[in-house]
Every structure is written in C-alpha cells, then in structure tokens.
Chain A
C-alpha cells in the first residue's frame, strides 16, 4: 500500500527537475498526477528552459509506474490556461487531494542590474503563479473534504541571499501566502505548508555559475550561500521525500509549517 495510494496530485513546473521528481515520487506511492509546465522558452534565465519533450518524459515515467497522468502545457501566470488544465485534470481523474505549487524561475543579478522585466517575471511566476495555483485548486480540495497544499519556497524565503532580490522577495511572499491560506482553509481540513530547499541538483542549479563574478566582487556575502552539512547541493529526491511526507496522511495534522530541506543553510 503506497503512502499516498488513491490520491490525486496537481503539480506545476512538472516537466523536469523537482517537479518531475515530485510527480514520480508521488506516483510510486500510488498517486495519479495532473501536471502543468510552461515547457517553452523563458527569457533572461541563465539555464536552459524546459521543453515539451521534457514534459512528455515526465508523462512516460509516471505511466511506467502504472499511474495515470494528465499533462498540459500551461503558464502559471495565465489564469485561464491554468484553470482549464486544473479543471480538466480533476474532471478526468475524479478529484483532487494534493497540490504542489512548484513552478519557479531564478535569475541572478545584483540589486542595480535587476531589470523591471526580471522583477515582473520573477514575481509573476514565483509568487503570483503560486497564488493562481492555490486559488484555482482550493475549491476542489474543499469539495473533496480536505487536502494538502505544498508550496515551494526556498532558503531564500526565510533569509536574505545576495544577488537574488526579486527571487528572495517572491519566496518570502510565498511564506505569507502559505500562512494566510493555512488560517483560512484549516476549517475545511485543508493543510497548507511550504518547503524550503537549499540548492538542488537540477537544470536551474546550473545558474550557480552566475554567482562567480558577483561573489568575487563582494566576497563577504559568499558564506550565505554555503550549506551547514558538508554537501554542495541536495538531490530532487530529497525535496520530493519532504513533499511526500507533507502530502501523505502521516502529516494529517501538520499545517502552516515551513519545512526546511536546506542542509542547514538557514541556520547561519
């Protein structure tokens, strides 16, 4: 018996990286999956964008586990497209139990060179996109008698990190959103929590190189990016194991938790 047997999970940013890992981990433990991803070119980011082939690979991997998956190409900033993908997935799979608001982008720039485009794009995807996701799914969870919402924040949602001002603002915003939703949805037995990864070994992690020249110019803040445990980065599976715990009934009375999976990054 899987740990989320018979549940249905909606995951944003599911084409690859953490999102795909969450889909596969939850499917292994018995969940069916509704997944969206922009799966298209994203301007301004210093790592490759996800593709439609990536999204198709997630579908293949979930189906190889004998679970059902409904995948749609949709931007979390586009409420119409997102709502259609959610409602269609719920109609096909019958209900919704778990929401993982995972889609996000990360652009490394110092304060002076952060453009309006990068600000709008980061807040739009990482914060407004999470709000779109939870506002458009919560009614489905309530109709199902309860559920679990997991929002992907970051170590940068708990403490400041250098050269990521838009990202830090958006990820702190996610914590505020989580707390607000936790208070409003508790009466319906809908739990709302965040996870806070440190660096994760994914395509997004490749942007780490962009820190180099900035850290050379500003060495005193370099330590803020380091982990306390002696590792460079976590694996997607480490984040997925936390998502699985929060998604399962093992955490049936956990709400409004900031779950760090950060190798101690926020401890100093």
Chain B
C-alpha cells in the first residue's frame, strides 16, 4: 500500500528537476498525476539557464506511466490563469478528483545588485514565482472545497523565503511572498481540512543551479567555472557537509506533507536546507 495510494496530485513545473521528481515520488507511492509546465524557453531567462522543453514534459509522462500510474500532462504557463485552470479542470475530469497540490514552478534570476534589477526581470520572476503560486491555489481551491475531503497544498518556497540573499532581490522577494500566501491560505482553508505548507530547499542539484551562470555568482572571476570548482563553495553555505541536496530530498518532504501521515500539519515552513538558514 503506497503512502498516497488513490490520491491525485496537481504539480506545476513538472517537466524536469524537482517537479518531475515530485511526480515520480508521489506516483511510486500510488498517486495519479496532473502535470503542467511552460515547457518552452522563457524570454529573459536564457542568459541564466535553458528552459524546459516539451520533450522534458513527455519524459515525465513516460516515467510516471512506467510506474503504472495515470498522468495528464499539459503545456501551460502558471502566469496564464485561464490556461492553468483549463489544464487542471481537464485533469480532474479525467482522473476524478484532486487531493494534493505542489506549486513548484519557479525561475531563478540573479546576479545584479538590487538597484540595477530591471522592472522586466522583477515582473518576470514575481509573476512566475509568486503570482503563479497564487494562480495555482486559486484554480485548485474550489475543487478541494467542493470535494469536501480535505487536501494538502504544498508551496515551494526556498531558503531565500526565510532569509536575505545578496544580489537576488526579485527571487528573494518572490519566495518570501510564497510564505505569506501559505500563511493566509492555511488560515482560510483549515475549516475545510485543507492543509497548506511550504518547503524551503537549499540548493538542489538541478539545471536551475548546476549551470555556469549560477557558478559565476560564487566565482565572478572565473570565466568557465565547473561543477567541481563550485561544489566546495556551495558547501560553505550549508551547515551539513554537503554542497547541495538532490531532488529526491525535496520530494520526500513533499510526500510526507502530501500523505495522511501529516494530516494535522498545517502552516509549517518545512526546511530541507542542510542547515543553510542557521549560518
């Protein structure tokens, strides 16, 4: 018997990285999946790291189906409420219900002192990371309330949702906003037995941080910094002696919060941060 047997999980940003990992971990434990991802390059982001692709999203589908679970995957941007809601509604129509929500889609733009950040970059980051989370909640809450069987909403914040990060102002603001959304939703939805929590990863070994642009944030003088050069510097940011965590570590926290093992956990900021925030 899986730990989330028979449940359906809605996951944004599911084409790769943490989102795909959440889809697989929940599917391994018996859940069916409704997945969305923008699955295309985002203008303004290419200088940081490449966008997810339709092939990535298809690979998530393949891997979930290989576990004998059902998945409804749609190409949709969390900034586009109507598209997001249509994707969710279609998934619920096909799979019957929705019980778990992982608002995971996010982007990481960085590198400029706050006074140099452009309005365009601020809006792009906050539209995806904060407004996209709100859109996700807004689309799913009516389903959860109508079903009357409770639910678990898990919002992906960050260590940058708990403390400041120099030269990362838009992202840090957006991830703090996610905590505010969580706290408000936890209060509003508790009478319906809908739980709302955040997860706060330190660096996770995905394309979002394992790229030259991110490495250069730590080594501005190195022209082509490598993962091997970056690891010991990343390690100095964590208390535990590791450079970064793996997607599965975040997925295990998401699984706990998604399952009935956490049926009375709401309003929690669940750090999976190797002690980043205590340094």
Contacts and interface: CB of A to CB of B under 8 A. Distances in A.
B195 A182 contact: no
A186 B241 contact: yes
Interface string B231-264: 0000000111110010001001101100001111
A214 B193 CA distance: 30
Nearest to A196: B268
B53 interface: no
B191 A182 contact: no
Contacts of B213: none
A263 B266 contact: yes
B270 interface: yes
B63 interface: no
Interface string A250-268: 1111111101111110111
B224 to A, nearest CB: 29
A261 B264 contact: yes
B267 A264 contact: yes
Contacts of B267: 228, 260, 262, 264, 266-267
Interface stretch (B41-49, B104-112, B113-121, B182-190): B182-190
B253 A268 contact: no
A239 to B, nearest CB: 9
Tell which of B191, B195, B249, B263 has the most Cβ of chain A within 10 Å. B263
Interface bracket on B: 35 or more
A260 B265 contact: yes
Given A229-B195, A268-B187, A253 B262 contact: no
A253 B264 contact: no
Interface string A147-189: 0000000000000000000000000000000010011001101
A111 interface: no
Contacts of A228: 186-187, 190, 266-267
B93 interface: no
A250 B195 contact: no
Interface stretch (A13-21, A37-45, A89-97, A230-238): A230-238
B33 interface: no
A186 B275 CA distance: 8
Contact of A229 (B245, B266, B279): B266
12 contacts: A229-B266, A234-B264, A250-B255, A251-B253, A253-B272, A254-B271, A255-B239, A255-B278, A256-B275, A256-B277, A263-B266, A267-B183
